[in-house]
Amino acid sequence: MKKALITGVTGQDGAYLTELLLSKGYEVHGIKRRSSLFNTQRIDHVYEDPHQDNVRFKLHYGDLSDSTNIIRIIQEVQPDEIYNLGAMSHVQVSFEEPEYAAQVDGIGTLRILEAVRLLGLTGKTKIYQASTSELYGGVQGHAQSETTPFYPRSPYAVAKQYAYWITVNYREAYNMYACNGILFNHESPLRGETFVTRKITRAVSRIGLGLQEKVYLGNLDAQRDWGHAKDYVEAMYLILQQETPEDFVIATGVTTRIRDFVRMSFAEIGVELEFSGEGASETAKVVRANNPDFPVPVGQEVVCVDPRYFRPTEVDLLLGDPTKAMTKLNWTPKYDLPALVKDMMTADIDLFRRDQLLAQSGHQILNYFE
Ligand code: NDP
Ligand code: GDR
């Protein structure tokens, strides 16, 4: 039975990858951080009671900022594959916590690579590094591929650039099987609530159900190449099954503005919007609402721009060229953007119907401020 070790197992990708590897017969070990509240909601459905026999999913406490526990866990598990998904993954927050982002997203990767080397596992353990389209940041005007030079535009992206190159360096210096998956944005119903897509689908669901009046967003002109996380974890797995270790861009090849993601999400509840104004004074009002389940009044202002969400340096356009992955890995995404939006909206409407029931029976419900 193959053994995989996943850092960031409690995150969006960690959860989908765990499901995928368990379905392929792997024994899966995950590293979770100690937190003051439970942080395993995304993987609770695959959790197995450690007191049972033949448990194939095991969690270990650990943190990418602590090389002692990384070495100990890798020594204990002796994994065939490590998927390094753990990171402080929020671009805007990295401007607030630049040193932490460097420690975890940059040096954290070195800790994994060095642990594998020190433990003499270079011939056994394959390593997947979660690299990102943010590496291309300031590269604009054409689709970005494996050969496009990098221009990171945030502390997050700069830390990830270190992680990218240290992975390449360990591969070349020590003949390690270590690869970068340069993944463009990928979303799902499990996406963290403060990333823009999930923030939008949650807010639109709540507005449709009468639980919230409007949503405040930042730069509506940015363009992203969005795929579904379920498709992207398949690519991670495929990258580690190749004969020789290589780096791959994983993307859909289609880019869309944030404003259009907003429109598509409102369309899912039968609401049509009209945008007016520019930059920090842009707003959107309802011009048509034709689904009686979501009776949002015509004329209601439902989107406002809040410059608080503007970034000191923005990445305006991301558009990936996945040709190499499609030809060499035989990877093709199953979800397009409309299918992704539908999946996220269906899940969030379902989630907030529970809040609607609570509100109707007089209970106070939470507000969300991000
Ligand atoms: P999430 O933010 O959903 O998950 C991040 C995971 O990392 C969580 O499990 C989190 O734990 C864990 N983590 C955070 N800090 C530490 C730390 N100090 N030590 C150990 N673990 C830590 O991210 P995604 O699942 O979306 O992304 C997975 C990886 O892929 C990340 O590295 C991200 O940067 C990268 N990436 C993501 C893309 C995307 O569009 N989703 C695109 C390209 C790259 P906790 O749950 O406790 O917070
Ligand atoms: P990104 O994702 O920075 O691309 O990083 P995010 O969803 O945070 O932002 C995408 C774009 O939307 C604009 N935006 C807003 N963003 C947020 N979060 N909140 C808002 O209110 C808002 N309004 C507009 C942003 O300015 C930006 O242009 C994600 C993360 O998963 C990274 O870890 C990963 O590496 C990259 O994707 C690829």
CATH number at residue 285: 3.90.25.10
In a domain, 370, yes or no: no
Q: What is the pLDDT of residues 34-49, one digit of tens each?
A: 999 999 999 999 998 8
Determine which one of 156, 164, 177, 232 is catalytic: 156
Nearest CA to ligand 1 atom 5: 11
How many folded domains does the chain comprise?
A: 2
- Provide ipTM, 2 decimals: 0.99
CB atoms within 10 A of CB 49: 6
Note whether 113 and 262 are same-domain residues.
no
Q: For position 30, which CATH number holds?
A: 3.40.50.720
- Contact present, 319 and 136 (Cβ < 8 Å): no
Note whether 291 and 206 are same-domain residues.
yes
Of 183, 214, 239, the position where a domain reaches its end is 183
Q: What is the pLDDT of residue 366?
A: 74
Q: What is the mean pLDDT of the chain?
A: 96
Note whether 120 and 29 are same-domain residues.
yes
Q: Is 7 in the pocket of ligand 1 (CB under 6 A)?
A: yes
> Range with the lowest mean pLDDT among 11-15, 106-110, 314-318, 359-363?
359-363
In a domain, 189, yes or no: no
Note whether 58 and 133 are same-domain residues.
yes
Note whether 217 and 126 are same-domain residues.
no
Q: What is the pLDDT of residue 359?
A: 86
Note whether 34 and 153 are same-domain residues.
yes
In a domain, 282, yes or no: yes
* Strand (E) or helix (H) holding 130: strand 126-132
Note whether 159 and 216 are same-domain residues.
no
Which atom of ligand 1 is least distant from the CA of 183? 43
What percent of the chain is modeled with pLDDT above 70? 99
Q: What is the pLDDT of residue 370?
A: 62
Best mutation site among 183, 195, 308 for ligand 2 pocket (most ligand atoms within 8 Å of CB): 195
275, pLDDT greater than 90: yes
Q: What is the pLDDT of residues 217-256, one digit of tens each?
A: 999 999 999 999 999 999 999 999 999 999 999 999 999 9
Q: Distance (Å, rounded) from C-alpha 130 to C-alpha 242?
A: 17
Which atom of ligand 1 is least distant from the CA of 35? 47
Nearest CA to ligand 1 atom 10: 8
In a domain, 321, yes or no: no
> Range with the lowest mean pLDDT among 49-58, 145-154, 259-268?
49-58
Q: What is the pLDDT of residues 324-333, one digit of tens each?
A: 999 999 999 9
Nearest CA to ligand 2 atom 28: 222
Residues with CB under 6 A from ligand 2: 89, 91-92, 132-134, 184-185, 194-196, 199, 217-219, 222, 224, 258, 309, 311, 314-315
368, pLDDT greater than 80: no
Note whether 90 and 41 are same-domain residues.
yes
369, pLDDT greater than 80: no
Note whether 263 and 288 are same-domain residues.
yes
- Contact present, 55 and 49 (Cβ < 8 Å): yes
Distances in Å between the alpha carbon of 351 and those of 155, 203, 314, 339, 358?
34, 12, 32, 18, 12
What percent of the chain is modeled with pLDDT above 90? 93
- Contact present, 105 and 88 (Cβ < 8 Å): yes
Of 152, 183, 214, the position where a domain reaches its end is 183
In a domain, 294, yes or no: yes
Structure-token pair, residue 85: 């998904």
In a domain, 240, yes or no: no
In a domain, 320, yes or no: no
- CA 356 to centroid of chain Cα atoms: 28
212, pLDDT greater than 90: yes
CB atoms within 10 A of CB 353: 14
Q: What is the pLDDT of residue 219?
A: 98
CA of 195 to the centre of ligand 2 (A): 5
In a domain, 106, yes or no: yes
Note whether 149 and 200 are same-domain residues.
no
Catalytic residue list contains 134: yes
123, pLDDT greater than 90: yes
Best mutation site among 12, 88, 89, 91 for ligand 2 pocket (most ligand atoms within 8 Å of CB): 91
Q: Region 71-77: what's the mean pLDDT?
A: 98
Residue span of the structural domain in which 81 resides: 3-183
Note whether 124 and 201 are same-domain residues.
no
Note whether 149 and 268 are same-domain residues.
no
